[in-house]
Chains A and B, each alone.
Chain A
């Protein structure tokens, strides 16, 4: 079945530590996205990528980094510079960015600080 796989489901970060969230898709989509969800708030865009080896900052990119070395993969690193990382992180994909195509989401990663 085609879809988006996020791992791990739960992740704990110690102070000063960088952690990486995995996102893999087999939908053959060009565009991939990372969102952050806090309780009672809408999703906020962290980074997005339209094609391999290219990505752009979203609304809240500070303290995060990404890479897009393969079409299928778009990992997100939460760096120690992100002072409030506790949130639910969602990865999504669409056929093409900018045409507002239907978004497909993974099942999310809950990140907490120890």
Chain B
């Protein structure tokens, strides 16, 4: 059974810093991986969807990488801003299976 972990559970950084969020999964036979952002009391917004055949995917200041063999994905945020403060969740998709979600990393970017 796929298990997804995210470390650290919470992270505080000063504005302008580049940062990396981590996502680990136990079964490397994945179809794709999705990163989401969640603001307090709100739903999830999809940030990046990276297919198993891809090594990375970029959108603006965000870059997601995927290393299936090691069971890891990272979300890189460049030049962080206070507006980036939110919880970031990763979800792993297996072949013909529903996504399995990690618990998230709560990010605070301090002005």
**Chain A residues close to B by CB (< 8 Å):** 4, 6, 33, 35, 40-45, 48, 58, 88, 90, 92, 97-100, 102-108, 110
Are B102 and A42 within 8 A (Cβ)?
yes
* Chain B: number of interface residues, binned into ranges: 20 to 34
Give the contacting residue for A102; candidates B49, B89, B94; CB below 8 A: B49
Complex: A108 Cα to B32 Cα, angstroms = 25
What is the chain A residue whose CB lies nearest that of B93? A100
Interface residues of B in 67-111 (CB under 8 A from A): 89, 91, 93-94, 96-104
Mask of B9-42 contacts with A, CB within 8 angstroms, 1/0: 1000000000000000000000110101000011
Q: Which residues of A sit under 8 angstroms from B4, Cβ to Cβ?
A: 42
The 9 closest A-B pairs by CB, nearest first: A100-B93, A42-B101, A105-B43, A43-B101, A105-B44, A98-B96, A107-B43, A42-B103, A100-B31
Complex: A42 Cα to B102 Cα, angstroms = 5
Complex: A40 Cα to B104 Cα, angstroms = 8
